[in-house]
Amino acid sequence: MRSEKVDEHLQEKLKDPYFRELHELEDQKLQIVKQIVGYRIKYKLNQRQLAKKAGVTQQHISKIENGEFSNIATLEKVLLLTGYTVKMRAVRLSPAVMSGIRRVFGRRTKTAA
């Protein structure tokens, strides 16, 4: 029953275009993290060993596995090792989504003032 309430709440939140875009981004990040952790498990590597193989620090591996992708070049090094790569592209949002996002930003600006 409790998970049903969470699902209902999430469905309600996903109606907000700004929230939906951020949610989709977090889902994509989760898939990348799963790939990297899965690679470590498959090859019985700890973070330090994976970091050494990828030429990065253990701290970078920890940050990536926690969903912090602040350094795309480092993320790329780790993904290349696992057989993947980073593919980035800017995608134009529809006018309806942009309108919703502007409304959200407008609310935040007024609340912050």
The ranges assigned to domains in the chain are: 2-88
Instruction: Give the tens place of pLDDT for each residue, 49-101.
Output: 999 999 999 999 999 999 999 999 999 999 999 999 999 889 898 898 888 88
Fold topology of 2-88: 434 Repressor (Amino-terminal Domain) (1.10.260)
Integer Cα distance of 74 and 87 in angstroms: 14
Tokens of 15: 């109606």
pLDDT confidence of residue 1:
57
pTM, full prediction? 0.75
pLDDT confidence of residue 107:
64
Instruction: Give the tens place of pLDDT for each residue, 1-49.
Output: 577 888 899 999 998 888 888 899 999 999 999 999 999 999 999 999 9
